[in-house]
Amino acid sequence: MKTTKRTADRIASWHADHVHFARLLDLLEDELEQFGGGAAPRYDLMEAIVYYMTHYSDAVHHPKEDLVFAIIKTRDPRFRGPVDELAWEHRILRETGEQLARDLDDIINGSIAPRDRLQQSAREYIACMRGHMNVEEVEILPAAQRLLTDDDWPVVDARIGDVDDPLFASGTDIRYAALREHIARNARRRA
């Protein structure tokens, strides 16, 4: 099958989400390193990252992927096992993300929750998300590029809706203002 512009654009957008998620996971890891140095991490930044990951990634990005996975496995049954595994991981990511959000909320709200519980939840979530995205990047995105057509995307959009990324695309959600500024500062510092 010849890749069309719409499909190429959608695959590029899928990849861009992964790049954004990886950047946020890096920031989350940076904050976790503050524990090791005896400093306090920026809990507000961690909270914004976790909120974004559990609201945009789990509510929009992963459901779209699940629909694409279903198309892929009907067009090439060799992908049945890998996409079923990835769909299962979406549930695990949602659960680990929710646990991380609870652990973070406990600390922010003054609970006597041990910091190592938060660190464990965060590291588990980060490792799972990174492994998950790697499989998608290496195996699934190239398959989607080959197997999907322009006719597939309206079906996906009709089921999920056309939702802009509230952090990286629209930039209007005030909830993410501090996180956007932190990302911009980091980018300027690294440039």
What secondary structure does DSSP assign to 53-86, as a single string? IIIIIIIIIHHHHHHHHHHHHHH-GGGHHHHHHH
Based on the structure, what is the number of domains in the chain? 1
pTM, full prediction: 0.91
Residue 79: pLDDT above 60? yes
CB 178 within 8 A of CB 44: yes
- Half-sphere exposure of residue 47: CA atoms within 13 angstroms, side-chain side: 13
CATH number at residue 103: 1.20.120.520
pLDDT, one tens digit per residue, over 134-174 is 999 999 999 999 999 989 988 888 888 777 888 887 667 78
CB 20 within 8 A of CB 147: no
Please give the share of the chain, as a percent, with pLDDT higher than 90: 59
Parent domain of 160: 5-190
∠ CA 175-181-186, nearest 5°, is 135
Q: What is the band of 2 on the pLDDT scale with cuts at 50, 70, 90?
A: low
